[in-house]
């Protein structure tokens, strides 16, 4: 009986002393913190991609709480997540529309000519600094995967030496846009399904020399599409993503235009062809081995 009493007493006294010391310490060294910041951090996706322009999610949360940024500045969060943050802070969510990245080049290993033998670091940025890299087209994708490595979400795949964005995975943070040394990646509205997979401003015949799927500047698509769906700068034709009254071009335009090289196509079709090309290339190398 005594033992139990004494044990309880000893424990109690030590606990009391410790508790007092901790209490005094926490008063003495108190750090003022805003609980709302932690709340917002909890609601953010936590990918730390930097798509918002801040150094990571914690930084962004601070700026949201401070009112410097609206919650919808986070390109990764879904609409529900953003409204949850806004609700938690009692502020306006701001309106946002989802964007995805797209690589505007369609020249893979089979289609675009490799002019010279490149020997060095396997990385687009490095290759671009050595005599403009191995591809003959000075405006084409290197396919060395700098963008794929920079993507925090793994949305970019290199298929047969060509970078292709999977739009369903892409959240539109824009990291890859800044990475590409050829500036081939664009953020476009998620609804945009049809693109011209060529960014070269050169004249048609010159492009034809180095690539089998260039935009020749024939403007068939411009004629087939509605007013304002395409923009023309010199030879270069591109889809007008600043949607006007006629909206973005759809699959019907692709069918109607009958693009002679096939560089105007839907994202799904693009992926499909690239996979087919890859399979073919593999088969060829296997045959070559035999």
Q: CA-CA distance, 249 to 140, in Å (whole number)?
A: 24
In angstroms, give the least distance from the CB of 58 to another protein: 9
**Angle between helix 79-89 and 57-65 (nearest 10):** 50
Among 39, 81, 83, 132, binds another protein (CB under 8 A): 132
48-57 in b/e form (b: 16+ CB < 10 A) is: ebbbbebeeb
**CB-CB contact of 221 with 253 (8 Å):** yes
- Is 7 a binding residue for another protein by CB under 8 A? The answer is yes
- Is 34 a binding residue for another protein by CB under 8 A? The answer is no
- Is 79 a binding residue for another protein by CB under 8 A? The answer is no
In angstroms, give the least distance from the CB of 29 to another protein: 4
Q: What's phi and psi for 36, nearest 5 deg? A: -65, -30
Question: Which residues 98-127 are close enough to bind another protein by CB under 8 A?
Answer: 115-123, 125-126
Please name every residue paired with 238 in a beta bridge, in sequence order, or none if there are none.
Answer: 231
- Is 130 a binding residue for another protein by CB under 8 A? The answer is yes
Please work out, in degrees rounded to the nearest 5, the angle formed at the alpha carbon of residue 215 by the alpha carbons of 209 and 216.
65
Question: Which residues 182-221 are close enough to bind another protein by CB under 8 A?
Answer: 202
Which residue's CB is nearer to another protein, number 136 or number 238?
136
- Is 55 a binding residue for another protein by CB under 8 A? The answer is no
Q: Say how many Å lie between the first and final Cα of the chain, rounded.
A: 89
Q: Which stretch binds another protein (CB under 8 A): 17-25, 208-216, 240-248, 279-287?
A: 17-25
Q: Minimal CA–CA distance to 251: which of 276, 221, 215?
A: 221
**Number of CB atoms found within 10 A of residue 265's CB:** 22
- Is 94 a binding residue for another protein by CB under 8 A? The answer is no
Kindly state the number of chain residues that form the binding site for another protein, as judged by CB under 8 A: 38
User: Which residues bind to another protein, rule: CB under 8 A?
Assistant: 2-3, 6-7, 9-11, 14-15, 18-19, 21-22, 25-26, 29-31, 115-123, 125-126, 129-134, 138, 149, 202
């Amino acid at each position: 009986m005594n033992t139990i009493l004494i044990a309880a007493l000893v424990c109690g006294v030590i606990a009391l002393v410790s508790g007092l010391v901790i209490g005094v310490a926490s008063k003495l060294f108190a750090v003022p913190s805003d609980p709302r910041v932690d709340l917002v951090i909890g609601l953010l996706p936590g990918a730390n991609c930097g798509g918002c322009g801040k150094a990571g999610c914690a930084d962004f949360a601070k700026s949201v709480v401070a009112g410097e940024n609206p919650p919808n500045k986070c390109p990764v969060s879904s609409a529900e997540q953003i409204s949850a943050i806004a609700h938690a802070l009692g502020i306006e969510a701001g309106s946002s529309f989802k964007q995805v990245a797209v690589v505007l080049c369609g020249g893979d290993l089979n289609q675009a000519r490799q002019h010279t033998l490149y020997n060095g670091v396997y990385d687009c940025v490095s290759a671009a600094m050595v005599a403009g890299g191995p591809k003959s087209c000075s405006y084409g994708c290197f396919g060395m995967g700098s963008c794929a490595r920079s993507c925090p979400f793994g949305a970019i795949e290199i298929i047969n030496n060509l970078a292709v964005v999977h739009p369903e995975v892409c959240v539109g943070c824009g990291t890859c846009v800044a990475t590409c040394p050829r500036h081939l990646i664009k953020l476009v509205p998620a609804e945009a399904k049809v693109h011209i997979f060529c960014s070269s401003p050169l004249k048609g015949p010159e492009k034809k020399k180095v690539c089998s799927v260039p935009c020749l500047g024939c403007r068939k698509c411009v004629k087939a599409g509605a007013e304002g769906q395409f923009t023309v700068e010199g030879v270069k034709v591109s889809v007008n993503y600043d949607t006007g009254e006629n909206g973005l071009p759809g699959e019907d335009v692709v069918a109607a235009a009958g693009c002679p090289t096939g560089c105007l196509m839907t994202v799904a079709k693009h992926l499909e062809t690239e996979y087919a090309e890859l399979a073919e290339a593999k088969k060829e190398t296997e045959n070559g081995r035999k």
